[in-house]
Structure 1
Amino acid sequence: MGSLGSPVLLSLFVASAAVIWIAGIKLSDTTDVLAERLHLGSALGGLILLAIATNLPEIAITASAAMAGQLDVAVGNILGGIAIQTIVLAVLDAAGVRPRAPLTRLAASLQLVLEGAMVVVVLAVVVMGTQLSPNLHAARLAPASVAIAVLWVIGLVLLNRAGRGLPWREGGDAPDSQPEPRGHSKGKKEKAAIDKGVSTARAGLVFGVSALATLVAGVVIERSGEEFFARQGLSGVLFGATVLAAATSLPEVSTGLTSTKLGDYQLAVSDIFGGNAFLPVLFLLATVISGKPVLPAAHDTDIYLTALGIILTVVYMAGLIFRPRRQYARMGIDSIAAVVIYLIGIAGLATIAT
């Protein structure tokens, strides 16, 4: 990439972002169709299959960086990605909610609060893992990365149980929230696929091609973007936490807008929280590939981004509980608070990175 001119690098970056956006839409649609037809269930289909599918760019970047022994941008992308993917909720709040009401008011449910708590717990273990000795590892595994993966699986089991109903009024859903049950958009997508004559094999083929395109685009966007923005004076940490994280969050934007368009607000929030809980699991992948613990080598900026992700998640957890009624600039007060906190947080990150 270093031998290419800046205009070529920028063109590759923009083209890769476009591929990630288009492939992300296809991945979302085919994932829901496959989840319905293969009877995977809402927990598996929403929190595992879709989490992996929409985070394929981060998977590609993490694997590529681990093989090259350069984990700085990958770590910053994972932790910065959690912060910026949470801000995707503000985008959905402003652009995707009909009728006009704050997203958290329409999506409020105890299950989503639990999903937010899962993100907070996983990120807390990330902070703990950064303080462990880098010599504490065996068989290409490190205790922190293994603990994160185990906690993620335990969280999925608990969320699957919560999805079958909670011993609360309305099963854990707030009154006058979205009228149709969570996940109803998947059934609508499945019906639309049947009407168009899309077979399961074809859906699987589209899923595979879209996944491959996203993986390739993820590597290209990281390599071209890092080189281009470095020439513009942007540090690797800031690039990974902002520009790269925003570009690799495009699948979450596309899937979220699709869900809110169909009135499935709970699924839109769940996809964001589910993806954020899954991202730290990639530290296990990086550890296995590189053969050494990743978290003990984390920089101050990585810990800072982790804390920012926790704060933003708690803001939306509070929104789901308090359910704001009024909107300002087409957003609920929780989304406005999240955007302000994020901007202040990135400004603070710049002072650390420089």
Structure 2
Amino acid sequence: MASLPFWLLILIFIVAVGAIWVAGIQLSRYTDVLAERFHFGAAFGGLILLAIATNLPELAITVSAASQGNLSIAVGNILGGVAIQTVVLALLDLIGVRGVKSLTYRAGSLALIVEAGLVIAVLSVVIAGSQMPPGLIFFRLTPDTVLIAAIWVAGLVLVRRAGNGMSWYDGGQAPDSQPEPMGHSRVIQEEMATSAGTSTAKALTAFLIAALITLLAGVALERSGSVIADRAGLSGIFFGATVLALATALPEISTGLAAIRMGDYKLAVSDIFGGNAFLPVLFLVATVISGQAVLPEAQAADIYLTALGILLTLVFLLGIAFRPQRKILGMGIDSVFVFVLYVVGTAGLLVVSDF
């Protein structure tokens, strides 16, 4: 793509963004249908399927970038994706939640605090892994990326146990939160598909087509975005953490809004935390494909993004714990803090990455 004119690169990027938006909506919808049809919506395998399905754009970008040795784009997209998808929660609070109560007040649940803790845990290993020697690699694997994957799997076990009820008052559900159980919107999606005459074979076919379109669009985003960043004089880290991360977060925005419209506030928050916990697992994929120890090559901007992701997640963790009810500027005070921190943090990233 390096030989293409700039306007055509922009057009390819925009078309790929649109494809991810449309295909991502269908992918999420049919993932819910298939999860219910095969009875693993809340099971361990279902959590893995949902995490992978909602992060297919990031997976495609990571594979494409790692295969070309362009690790800065992959690293920036993964870590920037964690930060910007956390900001999506603030956006959902602003444009999706109606009434006087904030998103984190309605989504009060100890299970969500466990998920937020899992995100912080895997991001902490990212920081630790950046200090490992680059030569510490065996069979195209490094201890840090393996540990991230192990923590993610162990975290899924804890999240599932928390979802089945914790030894706290009312099973860990806060009083006056959403009355329906988390995930009830997925049941509604399946019932709507059944009423529309959608067979399991049709749902599976639609899922695979949407997944393929999402993967191809993700590759197009990475290839065109890399050239656009070079010609615009932007660093791969900054571009991957902002523009590219926002483009790949579009499906989370649409699916989050859909869950909130059905009153499934807890699921909207859970999907974001679940996706953010999975994203650092892609470092394992990047290491296997590139044959390089990815995290020891992390730059100052990468560590900066990791710290920003931890900070934003911590704000919402405290928001779920303290459940601020009052809204400011149409959203909870925790969402306001997240917006402000992200804007300030992105400005700081410009300084750290030198564009």
TM-score tier, shorter chain, comes to over 0.9
2:6 aligned partner, one-letter code? S
Separation in structure 1 between the aligned mates of residue 100 and residue 185 of structure 2, nearest angstrom? 19
Q: Provide Cα deviations, 1:15-72, integer angstroms capped at 9, x if missing partner.
A: 1001000111101110000010101131546632121111111101111111111211
Letter in 2 for 1:56: L
Counterpart amino acid of residue 107 in structure 2? A
Distance 1:86 1:44 in 2: 23
Partner in structure 1 of residue 250 of structure 2: 250
Work out whether 1:338 is the aligned partner of 2:342.
no
Q: Residue 105 of structure 2 contacts residue 323 of structure 2 at CA under 8 Å; is this kept in 1?
A: yes
In structure 1, what is the Cα distance between the partners aligned to 2:216 and 2:55? Answer: 13
Gaps of 5+ in 2: none
Q: What SS does the corresponding residue of 1:159 show, helix, strand or coil?
A: helix
2:39 alignment partner, SS class: coil
Correspondence for 1:266: 266
Q: 1:326 to 1:66 in 2, by over 3 A?
A: same
1:114 aligns with 2:86: no
Does structure 1 residue 221 correspond to structure 2 residue 221? yes
Preserved CA contact (<8 Å) 1:80 1:241: yes
Match of 2:205 in 1: 205
Question: What is aligned with 1:310?
Answer: 310
Residue 133 of structure 1 corresponds to 133
Aligned to 2:101, the other structure's residue is in SS state coil
2:75–2:237 contact (8 Å) kept in structure 1:
no
Alignment of 1:32-51 (within 5 A): 32-44=32-44, 47-51=47-51
Question: What one-letter code is carried by the residue in structure 2 that aligns with 1:205?
Answer: T
Contact 1:43 1:156 in 2 (8 A): no
Moved more, 47-56 or 237-246: 47-56
Displacement after TM superposition at 1:158 (Å): 1.0
Q: Which amino acid aligns with 2:287?
A: T
Look up the match of 1:290. 290
Q: Structure 1 residue 98: deviation in Å?
A: 3.1
Separation (CA, whole Å) in 1 of partners of 2:166 and 2:45: 20
**Aligned equivalents of 1:301, 1:312: Cα separation in 2:** 16
Q: Does 1:172 align with 2:172?
A: yes
Contact 2:32 2:41 in 1 (8 A): no
Q: Who is 1:23 aligned against?
A: 23
The alignment partner of 1:136 has SS state of: coil
- Give distance in 2, aligned partners of 1:353 and 1:207: 38
Any idea what the Cα deviations from partners look like across 1:75-104, whole Å, max 9, x if unmatched?
Answer: 011001100000000111011113442100
Q: Using the alignment, how far apart are the partners of 1:318 and 1:80 within structure 2?
A: 21
Aligned length: 354
The CA distance in 1 between the partners of 2:183 and 2:200, in whole Å, is 19
Does the 8 A contact of 1:43 with 1:159 survive in 2?
no
Moved more, 133-142 or 43-52: 43-52
Q: What's the counterpart of residue 158 of structure 2?
A: 158
The AA in structure 1 aligned to 2:328 is: Y
1:149 partner SS: helix
Structure 2 partner of 1:147: 147
Residue 223 (structure 1) shift: 1.4
Would you say the 8 A contact 1:82–1:309 is kept in 2? yes
Alpha-carbon distance in structure 1 between the residues aligned to 2:233 and 2:243: 13
- Mapped partners of 1:145, 1:38: distance in 2: 31
Q: Which runs of at least 4 in structure 1 moved beyond 4 Å after TM superposition?
A: none
Q: Could you list the runs of 5+ residues in structure 1 that have no partner in the other structure?
A: none
Q: Which amino acid aligns with 2:7?
A: P
AA paired with 1:284? Answer: L
Q: Deviation at 1:170?
A: 1.3
Q: How far 1:226 moved relative to its partner? A: 2.3
Given the two structures, how large is their TM-score scaled by the length of structure 1? 0.98
TM-aligned CA deviation for residue 116 of structure 1: 0.1
Residues 147-169 of structure 1 show CA distances to partners (whole Å, capped at 9, x for unaligned) of 00001000011111111100111
| Amino acid corresponding to residue 137 of structure 1 in structure 2 | I
Identity %: 59
Question: Which letter maps to 2:190?
Answer: E
Taking the aligned partners of 2:253 and 2:46, their CA distance within structure 1 comes to: 15
Counterpart CA distance in 1 for 2:46 and 2:266 is 11
Question: What amino acid sits opposite 1:106 in the alignment?
Answer: R
Task: Supply the distance in 1 between the matched residues of 2:189 and 2:100 (Cα, whole angstroms).
Answer: 24
Change (3 A) 1:170 1:325: same
1:329 aligns with 2:329: yes
